[in-house]
Amino acid sequence: MTVTIGRRELLVALGGAAAAWPLAARAQQSGRLRTIGFLGPNTHSAASEWVAAFVQRLRELGWTEGRTITIEYRWAEGREERFAEIAAELVRLKADVIVTSGTQAVMASKNATSVIPIVFATAGDPVGSGLVASLARPGGNVTGLATLANELAGKRLELLREVVPSLRRLAIMGNVGNPYITLELGEVRAAARMLGLEAITLEIRRAQDLASAFEALKSGADALYVCTDALVNTHRIRINIAALGERLPTMHGSRDFVEAGGLMSYGPNFPDMFRRTADYVDKILRGAKPGDLPVEQPTKFDLVVNLTTAKALRLEIPPTLLTRADEVLE
């Protein structure tokens, strides 16, 4: 059967496709799809919810994997020595933009290229660490979202003390090989002093250090504060099992630690930050310069409580705290 299309129908059909044409045309002019290099500091399973939010937002903005973009995922599995290696690989792949998270991974990417745009979904102190010139005018090829986690240390300890009124000795675990975590450790210790708490610092630099840190947990602490970065995120289940074995309530910086058996977390909503990262990528792929896109800050903060862990620890979560929680896991 032959179908004849008139001039008017043809124009209407072409007009309807016009919105989708620019993305596909630009992607195919060079004979390849636009490439997003994704440097994941931890593991795919640890970041699956964040990646899903990122990809969903890209799709809403007109970027579909396999049609207008390709995403090259690389996972460092919490091994900081892999950051530079992966960044260099993404540069060799000639990615149109590199997406990553965490100050060290961003720094490795910046050291690998001063040309390819870099967007960070999370970074503790992008100005202080030299990633950007200023929040309003980043300059260079790097921009993204700042977590400001250091400023939340006092709030987290106040929440922890609501659940553990007898809190006197606080164990603090952090990767001292991460300059930003070193800053957070200082903030937590300062907040602990303000609350009259004795602080015990458990310093780690690699996965092998966790065993000695777990041994130190037996020194009589009343609770454990875990500073969030790629290393501890990768081993969050091991950390929570060890804490539960010592009957220690835990405070974390993100929800995924609570899903993995931690007691509670308070911090930025990371899926939302990865979703907003997609907006940066969209603007850059459409021609914006990263140095002209201001660094943004979190707009959503979540308090998450795990009631199953609380019961295992024989802790009674105050009803007033439960009513303020954004999510309660049972």
Beta carbons of 76 and 86 less than 8 angstroms apart:
yes
**CA distance linking residue 264 with residue 252, whole number of Å:** 6
| Domain extent for 282 | 31-148+270-300
140 with 226, same domain: the answer is no
Same domain, 221 and 314: yes
Q: Which two tokens stand for residue 318?
A: 């105050």
**Contact call for residues 185 and 172 (beta carbons, < 8 A):** yes
Domain of residue 212, CATH code: 3.40.50.2300
Kindly report the pTM of this predicted structure.
0.82
In total, how many domains does the chain have?
2
288/247 same-domain check: no
Structure tokens at 26: 């630009």
Query: What pLDDT, on the 0 to 100 scale, is given for residue 149?
Result: 60
**pLDDT tens, residue by residue, 292-311:** 999 999 999 999 999 999 99
Q: What is the pLDDT of residues 123-171, one digit of tens each?
A: 988 998 889 999 999 999 999 999 876 678 999 999 999 999 999 999 9
Q: Average pLDDT in the 239-248 region?
A: 96
Confidence (pLDDT) at 238: 96
- DSSP secondary structure, 10-68, as one string: HHHHHHHHTTTHHHHHHHHHTTS-EEEEEEESS-HHHHHHHHHHHHHHHHHTT--BTTT
Q: Are 70 and 94 in contact (CB under 8 A)?
A: no
